[in-house]
A and B are shown apart, each in its own frame.
Chain A
Amino acid sequence: MTTALEISQLHKVYANGHVALKGIDLHVEHGDFFALLGPNGAGKSTTIGIVTSLINKTGGSISVYGHDIHRNPSQAKTHIGLVPQEYSFNQFEPVEEILINQAGYYGVPPREAKRRAREHLTQLGLWEKRANQARNLSGGMKRRLMMARALLHRPKLLILDEPTAGVDIEIRRMIWEFLTDLNRSGTTIILTTHYLEEAEKLCRNIAIIDDGQIIADSPMRSLLERLESESFTLYLREPLAEAPKLRSAQLRSIDSRTLELVTDKHTDLGEVFSELQAHNIKLLSLRNTSNRLEELFLKMVSPEQDINPS
């Protein structure tokens, strides 16, 4: 196994005295699809900024494919591609120009850069826009432009800081598909996101960061298993005055024709349905509404909060 990214005891204190990172350790294997989750201000972008040499660290060490980012910066940097959270291109430069320049900074000669730019712009649906100034692109297009830009030097490790923020559903799907293919063909991917569904859908491993500390770091599946509850919305055929008490699960009335059902991880759903039947509750339809990762997230970042209403 090759290690793509190794972060140990990373500390960051900003110039204004704000302690953003309090000793982060992370280990990402080559080929992984890794999610870094955390609330606003947790330290995700700070971590990414330090890994990509945009922010100076206060303490700790980082290596990328075995190259320490301080002792061998050039080698480490050739392996990384970055899609930052904020736009970081000159708005007045044409799209294709931006790509060719970035490729050149990594030593990709102009002719080859042009070929790759065409390939990625086409894949990401931006080829028609190649001659436009970047400021004339829509928000979703600008994000895709930054994705294309990050890939021109064929990095082994692609880091994306909220790649689908402010992107519509259709484009989000397209990005997901694109990233999945990229990961399948061997690129290690790390992403941060606020769309928890996104992490669950794409990533194999996940770390949760809160207030500058890693509070969970494990395979996605085993983290999900720690979830204890599942919730459903029930749509009723006939109005109901009050939600009855069940033995097997909790029931809460949302309005006269809608109920919320919260079950335990080990609950036998058959039992729940027979109880509902016994109360003469007739279902029109039901929908699983628990955002499992969201729940998990809340549970991890604020342990004092009880997410299983009793």
Chain B
Amino acid sequence: MNLRYATVALYTLTRREVLRFARIWIQTMLPPAVTTVLYFVIFGKLIGSQIGPIDGHSYIEYIIPGLILMSVITNAYANVVASFYSSKFHGNIEEMLISPMPAYIILAGFIIGGVLRGLLVGGVVFGVSLFFGHLPYPDIGLTLLMLLMTAALFSMAGLINGVYAKSFDGISIIPTFVLTPLTYLGGIFYSLEMLPDFWRGVSLLNPIFYMINVFREGALGSSDIGAGLAIGITALFLAAFTAVCLYLLDRGVGIRT
């Protein structure tokens, strides 16, 4: 395993992933742009105008960071689960399995693909958000760090889903029944203080809540929780998911008989 080999292999995987989602941009890039415009208009402008400021920010400004991060999460996940499952479905996962690429290169390729799609769509949503409000971004470093960690984490989650999926249903169950509820309940639309005690406790069990809060702290300068704790929790998840993904790929779970 030399560096030159790793570079070529990783470049190839990345290029393949990007070409894949670029080829089907109407399915991959356009819908998130459309939905977020709707969110901004309906929740931000129409309903938001009825809600007073949160932490000194107008409601629409308050929800912009969460909406950006939500689109990053959804798209990073969707990209990897779809790409991985379709390569199982078409059989071209074998092209990777017979090649000398070790599991960590294959994993890195899928993560880069997911992160790039997440960032691109996140960028589109950010672009749209500029029509609705300008955020101060007092800690851009923190925002970017959280963005990358979250995108990588949900790329791996998508991969794990893809490994176990046995049908096209199998790739939409988790996003619909787990991921969407977790993001909606992750504090995109409200601050902890607005919740009754019980729901406040439930929110604290949701990992996405921490990510959105830290991301928002970087963007707005205010948060419900400390950044250090949230980064620590995300890093722990990252480490655990990396280990699980490497194990699954190495063992060939769901792909080798």
- Please list the residues of chain A having a beta carbon within 8 angstroms of any beta carbon in chain B: 14-15, 49, 52-56, 73-75, 77-78, 80, 82, 84, 86-93, 97-98, 100-110, 149
- Asked, given contacts A77-B100, A89-B95, A105-B101, whether A56 binds B8 with beta carbons under 8 Å apart, the answer is no
Smallest CB–CB gap between B28 and chain A, Å?
14
Query: Which 10 A-B residue pairings sit nearest by Cβ, starting from the closest?
Result: A104-B12, A105-B99, A88-B91, A74-B100, A107-B5, A88-B94, A77-B100, A90-B92, A90-B90, A107-B8
Q: Give Cα A169 to B187, complex, Å.
A: 66
Smallest CB–CB gap between A286 and chain B, Å?
47
Which residue among A53, A87, A103, A105 has the maximum number of chain B CB atoms within 10 Å of its CB?
Answer: A105
Please give, as numbers and ranges, the residues of chain B lying within 8 Å of A52 by CB-CB distance. Answer: 98
Please give, as numbers and ranges, the residues of chain B lying within 8 Å of A14 by CB-CB distance. Answer: 257
Question: CB-defined interface of B1-37 with A at 8 Å, one 1/0 digit per residue?
Answer: 1001100110111011001000000000000000000
Smallest CB–CB gap between A101 and chain B, Å?
5
Q: Does B82 reach chain A (CB closer than 8 Å)?
A: no
- Please list the residues of chain B having a beta carbon within 8 angstroms of any beta carbon in chain A: 1, 4-5, 8-9, 11-13, 15-16, 19, 86-87, 90-92, 94-102, 252, 256-257
Please give, as numbers and ranges, the residues of chain B lying within 8 Å of A56 by CB-CB distance. Answer: 252, 256-257
Q: For A80, give the chain B residue with the smallest CB separation.
A: B98
Say whether B257 contacts A55, CB under 8 Å. yes
Please give, as numbers and ranges, the residues of chain B lying within 8 Å of A90 by CB-CB distance. Answer: 86-87, 90, 92
User: 11 A-B residue contacts at CB 8 Å?
Assistant: A52-B98, A55-B256, A77-B98, A87-B91, A88-B92, A97-B19, A100-B12, A105-B12, A105-B13, A107-B4, A107-B9
Contact for A53 among B1, B11, B87, B98, CB less than 8 A:
B98
Say whether B256 contacts A104, CB under 8 Å. no
Q: Give Cα A274 to B251, complex, Å.
A: 69
Q: Give Cα A75 to B99, complex, Å.
A: 10
Q: For A15, give the chain B residue with the smallest CB separation.
A: B257
Q: Give Cα A102 to B93, complex, Å.
A: 11
Say whether A108 contacts B257, CB under 8 Å. no
- Asked, given contacts A56-B252, A56-B256, A97-B19, whether A105 binds B90 with beta carbons under 8 Å apart, the answer is no
Smallest CB–CB gap between B230 and chain A, Å?
37
Please give, as numbers and ranges, the residues of chain A lying within 8 Å of B99 by CB-CB distance. Answer: 77, 102, 105-106
Please give, as numbers and ranges, the residues of chain B lying within 8 Å of A97 by CB-CB distance. Answer: 19
Please give, as numbers and ranges, the residues of chain B lying within 8 Å of A110 by CB-CB distance. Answer: 8, 11-12
Smallest CB–CB gap between A289 and chain B, Å?
39
Say whether B98 contacts A86, CB under 8 Å. no
Smallest CB–CB gap between A95 and chain B, Å?
13
Smallest CB–CB gap between A92 and chain B, Å?
8
Q: For B24, give the chain A residue with the smallest CB separation.
A: A92
Contact for B100 among A92, A93, A106, CB less than 8 A:
A106
Which residue among B19, B94, B102 has the maximum number of chain A CB atoms within 10 Å of its CB?
Answer: B94
